[in-house]
């Protein structure tokens, strides 16, 4: 599975970059891999927000589950919508 990614650019003082490079080398990692590790380590204890479904969404879900036996396989989506 390919995960969408983005890039960031970070400007560091030379002394800090040298310290970062030495820490990355200690773990035999490229600097980018070491920084990625630090970010993951920092955000891992965070809880992601969980939202309650609205009453309207719950009603739609219940109806969809009740009517799931009416589902059809569609090979050509364009043709399907033309015939609706």
> Are 80 and 74 in contact, with CB atoms under 8 Å apart?
yes
pLDDT at 38: 94
Among 4, 2, 12, 3, which Cα is nearest to 32's? 12
pLDDT at 80: 85
3-state secondary structure of 11: coil
Residue by residue, pLDDT tens for the chain (84 residues) are: 788 889 999 999 999 999 999 999 999 999 999 999 999 999 888 777 788 999 999 999 999 999 999 988 888 888 888 888
38/36 Cα distance (integer angstroms): 5
Tokens of 7: 């890039």
pLDDT at 84: 80
User: For the chain, which residues make up each domain, given as ranges?
Assistant: 14-43
The structure's pTM equals 0.51
């Amino acid at each position: 599975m390919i995960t969408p990614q983005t890039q960031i650019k970070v400007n560091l003082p030379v002394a800090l970059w040298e310290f970062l490079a030495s820490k990355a080398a200690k773990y035999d990692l490229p600097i980018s891999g070491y920084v990625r590790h630090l970010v993951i380590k920092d955000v891992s204890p965070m809880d992601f927000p969980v939202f309650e479904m609205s009453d309207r969404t719950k009603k739609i879900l219940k109806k969809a589950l009740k009517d799931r036996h009416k589902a059809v396989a569609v090979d050509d989506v364009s043709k399907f919508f033309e015939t609706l």
